[in-house]
Amino acid sequence: MPIINNKHEPHTEELVKRLEKLAKKFRREILIMTTKAGSGHPGGSLSAIDVITAIYFHQLRHDPSNPKWEDRDRFVLSKGHACPALYAVLSELGYFPKDEIHNLRRIGSILQGHPDMVKTPGVEMSTGSLGQGLSAAIGMALAAKLDRKDYRVYVMLGDGEINEGQVWEAAMVAAKYKLDNLIAILDRNRYQLDGYTEDFLPLEPLAEKWRSFGWHVMEMDGHNMKEILDTLDEAEKVRGKPVMIIAHTIKGKGVSFMENENKYHGKALTPEELEKALKELEDPEDDEPRG
């Protein structure tokens, strides 16, 4: 596969449909691979998948046949537990064979329980211990400035994740260096492991917080593909500041009995639940994949 550089494609209905269809397929794969593994984090993978799909298939300039291409745009999944979403996308793009998703979390697999940049082609940073991906992305963005390269660095954080103090250390440093080649997306699905974010460590007013830390803040519906594409494009126009896009999302999005049902934060579906979920995610034009 040659270099992928699609971001100048107009945001037509056709493009939106194509990305939505892909995201639906990835939702099936996320559930299939986590159920097969018997563990994992499907809820936060489903909330993140629309944005990750848009980023990889439309926004990033990258080359799956050359994952270490120096001039590539980077995507860091700071909320590493959502890696089933990343694995579905990377395998679709050919970073590794699709079949690997069936080995998720198994001994010897290239697909670890949390992202591992050494084992998995296309993974930019090993994450999983929360709060570190934004700092790593800052390092990549600083390197771009030093090397006078025009690549961008995208990083996705979870809303629970920003409880971590390191995130706010990083927020100050990104603003200090005016990293306008850094675009962060906050997957605001409103739940963390123990429940509703505002019940444990209130985050609001979220946009004001990031603004006061010197970031350009945008908000979008993280499940509206057209809005995602438009917002990502707008974010690229910001100069002199890092950008934080708050993506309002739904944990477990796409499966009725998983939506806002936090027990699926870190628990795979049973085979029976999976069957039900796959029915809801069926694509009439598409007869694969099945578990």
Partner 1 sequence: MVEMRRAHTRDAYGRALVELGRRNPNVVVLDADLSTSTKTAMFGKEFPERFFNVGITEQNMMSIAAGLATCGKTVFVSTFAVFATGRAFNQVRQSIAYTNLNVKIVATHGGISVGEDGASHHSIEDIALMRVLPNMTVVVPADAIETEQVIFAVAEKPGPVYVRLCRPPTPLIYEEGYKFRGQPLKYELGKAVLLEEGSDVTILATGILVYEALEAAALLRKKGISAEVVNVHTIKPLDEELVEKSARKTGAVVTAEDHSIIGGLGGAVAEFLCETYPVPMARVGVRDVFCDSGPWEELLAYYGLTASGIADAAQKVISSRGVVR
Burial classification of residue 165, based on how many CB atoms lie within 10 Å of its CB (0-12 exposed, 13-18 middle, 19 or more buried) = exposed
> Is 199 one of the binding residues for partner 1 (CB under 8 A)?
no
Asked whether 90 and 96 are in contact (CB, 8 A), the reply is: yes
Residues in 254-273 at the binding interface with partner 1, rule: CB under 8 A = none
Written as one string, the DSSP assignment of 21-38 is: HHHHHHHHHHHHHHHHHT
Cα-Cα end-to-end distance for the chain: 27
Q: Closest CB to partner 1 among 74 and 190?
A: 74
Q: How, if at all, do strands 4-5 and 153-158 pair?
A: unpaired
Region binding partner 1 by CB under 8 A among candidate stretches 48-56, 168-176, 254-262, 270-278: 168-176
Gap between the Cα atoms of 252 and 21, Å rounded: 17
| Least Cβ distance, residue 186 to partner 1 (angstroms) | 17
Q: Which residue has the tokens 């009439």?
A: 284
> Is 136 one of the binding residues for partner 1 (CB under 8 A)?
yes
Q: What tokens does 159 get? A: 């809303």
Region binding partner 1 by CB under 8 A among candidate stretches 49-57, 84-92, 116-124, 251-259: 116-124
Gap between the Cα atoms of 202 and 222, Å rounded: 21
Region binding partner 1 by CB under 8 A among candidate stretches 13-21, 32-40, 121-129, 266-274: 121-129
Q: What tokens does 147 get? A: 């090397």
The correct pick among 118, 263, 279, 290 for binding partner 1 (CB under 8 A) is 118
Region binding partner 1 by CB under 8 A among candidate stretches 3-11, 85-93, 165-173, 226-234: 165-173
The correct pick among 165, 237, 287, 288 for binding partner 1 (CB under 8 A) is 165
> Is 183 one of the binding residues for partner 1 (CB under 8 A)?
no
Under the rule (CB under 8 A), what is the footprint of partner 1? 70, 76, 116-118, 124-129, 131-144, 146-147, 165-166, 169-170, 172-173, 176-177
